[in-house]
Amino acid sequence: MSLKKSFAAASMLAGAMTAMSFMSAGAAQAQGELVMYCAVQEEWCRAMTTAFERETGIKVSMTRKSSGEIYAQVKAEAANPRADIWWGGTGDPHMQAAEEGLTEAYKSPKMSELQDWAVRQWEQSKQRTVGIYSGALGFGYNTDLAQSKKTGDLKCWADLLKPELKDEVQVADPNSSGTAYTLLATIIQIMGEDKGFEYLKALHKNVNQYTKSGAAPAKATALGETTVGIAFMHDVVTMVVDKAPVKVVAPCEGTGYEIGSMSIIKGAKNLDNAKKFYDWALTPDAQKLGAAAKSYQVPSNKNTPVPPQAPKLSDVKLINFDFAKYGSSEERKRLLSKWDNEVKNLP
Ligand code: PLP
């Protein structure tokens, strides 16, 4: 081969290599990124982020906040959305965001694999949010502290008003926490609004702190910082699995439950990646990461094994929770403002 020919061949090869490297840079770029707001436990949020990045090459920027805080942030950013996907947390703020047009309708090919309660959430929100897990509300109590304070067995919501529990009950603030909003809606559905607010005012006398996050009271109970923590039963189970002296209670009067949800943000800058995450998050492989991160909810895909530690919903006296009513924008705003005025500001 002449020098000229070999130079030409070399330059063709170089050109081809440059084109290939452009292609691979382009391919890497096309995988792009995803901004996720995550409302479950930090450990589970991190496990989802890492697994999705590994599976797809998409870089995830994740922020963990409580359910009500994410709703407030999504609303504040509506004119210029920062996040693409809102994964986890109780369904009520997802429903409120759907009604206010802050989230996007989407039908995943995975819908046919989901439990009825997950599909109902999607239908009620006009396809703007979908159920990803479910779990019942309850409370946990530290058996060592209960013994030293002579509280007796605690089995019912009514037991939490015992004078022996003065300053010994911890629960989150329903403005920031979906767990605590589920309590507010549950008590009203069991007792009626007037008696329900009387109960919450009486409970206030025993509350030592309204935390920001819904899972914090379960942790505080395990650490012996409070005798009782009101939380989702699966959050209390996590403490029992870690060998804390804590008893999980499904209240005798009955209790509410959550449909943990997922929504795509309206105006998402990485819409295709948000849809990829959404489809993946509904698969059994993704849903199994919950139990691996010690979160023992009931998963929404029928083919995801229910963790053996998950409280059996069939053994709990569940109320017929009205998700549409208590997730509606008007009702949620009204109840939160009434709780602020009539309960939180009491001495
Ligand atoms: N963590 C777990 C394990 C949950 O099940 C839920 C409810 O969806 C949350 C966190 C939500 O927390 P918060 O009450 O802080 O909004």
Give, using CA atoms, the residue closest to atom 2 of ligand 1.
40
Distance in Å, CA 134 to ligand 1 centroid: 11
* CA-closest candidate to residue 205, choices 160, 174, 148, 144: 160
pLDDT attached to residue 10:
37
Average pLDDT over residues 205-228: 97
From 139, 235, 287, 332, mutation site for ligand 1 pocket: most ligand atoms within 8 A of C-beta: 235
Distance in Å, CA 12 to ligand 1 centroid: 58
Every domain of the chain and the residues it spans: 29-134+258-308, 136-256+333-344
> 232: Cβ below 6 Å to ligand 1?
yes
> 96: Cβ below 6 Å to ligand 1?
no
Intrachain domains 29-134+258-308 and 136-256+333-344 with the same fold = yes
**Superfamily of structural domain 29-134+258-308:** Periplasmic binding protein-like II (3.40.190.10)
Q: Which atom of ligand 1 is nearest to 39's Cα?
A: 11
From 134, 179, 263, 294, mutation site for ligand 1 pocket: most ligand atoms within 8 A of C-beta: 179
Q: What is the dihedral of CA 116, 118, 122, 124, to 10 degrees?
A: 70
Q: Which atom of ligand 1 is nearest to 232's Cα?
A: 5
pLDDT attached to residue 31:
75
> 235: Cβ below 6 Å to ligand 1?
yes
Q: Which atom of ligand 1 is nearest to 89's Cα?
A: 8
* pLDDT over 90 at 14, yes or no: no
Computed over every residue of the chain, the mean pLDDT equals 92
What confidence tier does 313 reach under pLDDT thresholds 50, 70, 90? confident
Give, using CA atoms, the residue closest to atom 10 of ligand 1.
40
Q: Which atom of ligand 1 is nearest to 181's Cα?
A: 14
pLDDT digit string, tens, across residues 217-274: 999 999 999 999 999 999 999 999 999 999 999 999 999 999 999 999 999 999 999 9
Q: Which atom of ligand 1 is nearest to 216's Cα?
A: 15
Strands (E), 147-291: 169-172, 207-211, 228-232, 246-249, 257-265
User: How many degrees, rounded to 5, is the angle at CA 142 between CA 137 and CA 147?
Assistant: 130
Q: Report the amino acid identity of residue 181.
A: Y
How large a percentage of the chain has pLDDT more than 90?
89
Sign, Cα dihedral of 302, 306, 310, 312: positive
> 208: Cβ below 6 Å to ligand 1?
no
Distance in Å, CA 202 to ligand 1 centroid: 25
User: How many degrees, rounded to 5, is the angle at CA 289 between CA 284 and CA 292?
Assistant: 130
pLDDT attached to residue 1:
39
Average pLDDT over residues 168-195: 98
CATH of 136-256+333-344, one of 3.40.190.10, 1.20.140.10, 3.40.605.10, 1.20.1560.10: 3.40.190.10
Distance in Å, CA 38 to ligand 1 centroid: 10
- Which residue in this structure is represented by tokens 């599909």? 119
Please state whether beta strands 257-265 and 85-87 pair in parallel, antiparallel, or not at all (unpaired). antiparallel
Q: Which atom of ligand 1 is nearest to 69's Cα?
A: 16
d(CA 171, CA 232): 11
Average pLDDT over residues 162-177: 98
pLDDT digit string, tens, across residues 17-67: 333 333 333 333 447 999 999 999 999 999 999 999 999 999 999 999 999
What confidence tier does 13 reach under pLDDT thresholds 50, 70, 90? very low
pLDDT digit string, tens, across residues 61-98: 999 999 999 999 999 999 999 999 999 999 999 999 99
What confidence tier does 8 reach under pLDDT thresholds 50, 70, 90? very low
Give, using CA atoms, the residue closest to atom 12 of ligand 1.
214
Give, using CA atoms, the residue closest to atom 8 of ligand 1.
89
N residues, the chain: 347
Q: Report the amino acid identity of residue 203.
A: L
* CA-closest candidate to residue 180, choices 156, 216, 205, 154: 216
Assigned token pair, 339:
């709780």
